[in-house]
Structure formats: structure tokens, C-alpha cells
């Protein structure tokens, strides 16, 4: 190996093999993925008086607003709601930078 081909900053000489090993070790690690449609704060009195079958609870998000996608409660992306046949789904439209995720 010539002196110009040394790994930089502790990188492996065989990064593809190391990456494959890490992926093999981590691919079964469970992650909780959640999508937040919106939030609302209610006190017990409001819940007792207003909540029942057919009740509508207004949320803080407007129709068409981006939805927050969280992995293990950390904001990682924003998405829009979509219909997938008879199911609901989300389409990722933005990956959140780590600095922005820390602020949310």
C-alpha cells in the first residue's frame, strides 16, 4: 500500500467488508417508528365532557401540513399522508438534519 492510500481518521482498510459486518450485526435490531399526526392538550374535565363515540378532537396541525416521522422518539423525517389501498401510509418528503432533529 502506498503512503497516499492509508485509511483516514481511523477508517478501515476494507470499508465495504466492515460495513457489511456492521449491517449483518444490526439488521435485526428492533426500532419503533411513529408518525405524529398532531397534538392537543386536554384536561380530565374536557375529556369526560367531550370524548365519546363520534367525537372529533381538533389537532394542532393543519390539513396538508407535514407529519413528523420519529424513530425511537427521535425526529428523522417529515412526510405526507397517503392512501395505500385500504390502508393509511406516509410518503417521506424530507429527511431531517441531525441539528434540526435535536431542536424538535
Q: Which tens digits make up the pLDDT trace of 7-16?
A: 445 555 556 7
- Which residues on neighbouring strands pair with residue 39, listed in sequence order? none
Other beta carbons within 10 Å of 69 = 21
pTM (two decimals): 0.63
pLDDT digit string (tens) for 13-34?
556 777 788 888 888 889 999 9
**What are phi and psi for residue 42, nearest 5 degrees?**
-130, 145
CA dihedral 90, 96, 26, 89 (to 10 degrees): 0
Q: Which domains does the chain have, with CATH numbers?
A: 31-103 (2.30.330.10)
Shortest CA distance to 36 belongs to which of 10, 75, 85, 9? 75
Q: Name the residue with higher pLDDT: 14 or 85.
A: 85
Amino acid at each position: 500500500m502506498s503512503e497516499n492510500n492509508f485509511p483516514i481518521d481511523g477508517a478501515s482498510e476494507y470499508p465495504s467488508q466492515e460495513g457489511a459486518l456492521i449491517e449483518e450485526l444490526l439488521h435485526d435490531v428492533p426500532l419503533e417508528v411513529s408518525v405524529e399526526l398532531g397534538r392537543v392538550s386536554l384536561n380530565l374535565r374536557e375529556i369526560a365532557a367531550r370524548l365519546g363515540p363520534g367525537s372529533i378532537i381538533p389537532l394542532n396541525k393543519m390539513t396538508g401540513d407535514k407529519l413528523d416521522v420519529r424513530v425511537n422518539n427521535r425526529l428523522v423525517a417529515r412526510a405526507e399522508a397517503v392512501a395505500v389501498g385500504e390502508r393509511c401510509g406516509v410518503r417521506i418528503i424530507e429527511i431531517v438534519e441531525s441539528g434540526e432533529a435535536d431542536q424538535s
